[in-house]
Amino acid sequence: MKKVVAVFCLGVSLTGALAQGLVHFANDPTTLVTYQAWTNGVIGPFVPIPANNPGAFYFGLLTAASPAGPFTFTGIYATNSADAGLFGPASYTPTVPGWAPGASMFYEVAGWSASLGPTFNPVWLTGNLGNFGYFGVSPVGLSVAGGHTPQARLSASVSGDSIVISWAPSAGTLQSSPLLRVGEVWSTVGTANPARITISGDAKFFRVLPAVYVTPNLFGPASLPGFGLWTNGV
């Protein structure tokens, strides 16, 4: 007698209230950060922030549910690299509190010179810097946080001497295990969907390990800060 094959789904859903999505918090040569240098009392044209001076500028990510705000600092920081106009690093993909995976959110990028200190101060948004320094905020952008792993739903049917397992969403890797217990090692069956598996004498449990979707570069919809020179908010 053939044993029943148990089908079990252990996909993880990250859409709960405490979930945090991923963003790519870095720019590229098409979205350079610019500033107006103050030289001998004269403000120059907007040019990329200088090269070979990493850590001279800080950047912070602000988000809001509406394009009109209010925008709230997320606690996500970055600094400029040794390359002109760039910050990151390019591989920096932090999780963002309050921005659920797969959810859309409006955002701004604030930037300031190290002379103002490493910690973001929301008072700067009013134009009051208190000290000599550069400060700027990007236009409002709209993006989708990455890291979304929708829970897979499995279905099975018997065809001849095989069981056919399919799942939705279609991405992911099917795995099997003879037991369900903490610390159990799961074996990879494959990514083919549907999967056809010959029925054997031993019961097995199946699950789908979801694919992870990471958002594209955050800065597609918006340009980056252009820094103006401020002295005591003037």
Residue 213's pLDDT is: 56
For the entire predicted model, the pTM comes to 0.65
Which amino acid makes up residue 169?
A: P
Q: Which residues make beta-bridge pairs with 197?
A: 163
pLDDT digits (tens, 9 = 90+) for 123-145: 988 877 777 788 888 888 888 78
Strands (E), 169-232: 173-177, 187-190, 195-198, 205-209, 226-230
Tens-digit pLDDT profile for residues 195-230 = 998 887 777 888 887 766 555 445 443 456 666 544
DSSP 81-133: -SSTT-EE-TT---EETT--TT-EEEEEEEEEEGGG-SS--GGGGGT--SSSE
Query: What residues does 21 pair with on adjacent strands?
Result: 96
pLDDT, tens digit, 9 for 90 and up, residues 76-116: 999 999 999 899 888 888 888 888 887 888 888 999 999 88
Q: How many other C-beta atoms lie within 10 A of the C-beta of residue 222?
A: 18
Residues 6+ apart with CB under 8 A from 132: 115, 230, 231, 232
Does the CA dihedral 14-146-105-56 come out positive or negative?
positive
36's tokens: 């107006």
Residue 121 is predicted with a pLDDT of 93
The mean per-residue pLDDT over the stretch 52-76 comes to: 93
